[in-house]
Chain A
Amino acid sequence: MIVEAAVSFFLVVGSFFLLVGAVGLARLPDFLMRLHAPTKASTLGIGGLLLASLVWFATHGLPGVKELLVTLFMFLTAPVSANLLGKAALHLRLKSRAPLPPPAPGADPDA
């Protein structure tokens, strides 16, 4: 019973945050603002679903921590791709509601 409640809770919360990430991706007005929604809400969302899966299979004869590994992987990789995409947006001087800062003097995009 408690297990069922926990799995259901993580499922609904996780998928809700995935939905929030997608809605943000659609609604926010410029690219750098859109970058906020999927990198965080979606990461937390998939984390919730993986937790649900962890609890479900742990109580159905397949204990393991694989899901935690994937959650960790998601949390490690999301900032990296967000940072690269943000840098690319600055590099291309995309339209932005916040005034764009000047490019770094002698900027090396690899730094």
Chain B
Amino acid sequence: MTRLFPYPILSAALFAAWLALARTLEPAHLALAAALATGIPLVARRLFEPPHAIRSPAAAVRLTVVVLYDVIVANLIVARLVLGPMDRLRPAFVTVPLDATHPYAVSLLAAIITTTPGTVSVDVRLAERAILVHALDCADPAGLAAAIKSRYERPLMEIFG
């Protein structure tokens, strides 16, 4: 079973995505979806990190809610910054040191930093174990790094163990 489906969640997502895109439950499409869900992960597995279990689904749900909330609230803040006066913005580069080591956790953290407004992760420096972040308006770089670590990195480490 694991040899046929090395990435069960990816396979399930591909299966569901195909049926949703075709907007149908016809047997032919079910078969095609099953074939794609089996074939794509097998063909593409050389590109991926080895599969890794989610240790704490509860933490994953909590983090999803936190990120969705932050995306909406912080987008309003960025909208105000963008429409307001430009010379008041204080852009800064912030280096966020990493405690998380798993590649999944690090790349997810980089993606979350970019999706939550005010910050874009510019460079993931695995050798230095740090993410270089560009902030649009930041008066307190150390505080921003600490906030990112406690709000996003800690739950990610819980999830990936």
Contacts and interface: CB of A to CB of B under 8 A. Distances in A.
Chains A and B share a contact (CB less than 8 Å): yes
Report whether over half of chain B's contact residues are helix, strand or loop; otherwise say mixed: mixed
Interface in B92-128: 92-93, 95, 110-112, 114-118, 120-128
Size band of the interface chain A makes with B: 35 or more
Main secondary structure of the interface of A (DSSP, over half): helix
A2 B134 CA distance: 41
Interface range for B: 35 or more
Given A83-B122, A98-B91, A44 B71 contact: yes
Pairs A-B, 10 closest by C-beta atoms = A86-B122, A79-B114, A24-B82, A79-B111, A98-B91, A40-B117, A20-B79, A36-B136, A64-B23, A98-B92
B98 to A, nearest CB: 13
A65 interface: yes
Interface of A: 17, 20, 23-24, 27-30, 32-33, 35-37, 39-41, 43-44, 62, 64-66, 68-69, 75-76, 78-80, 82-83, 86-87, 89-90, 96-101, 104-107, 111
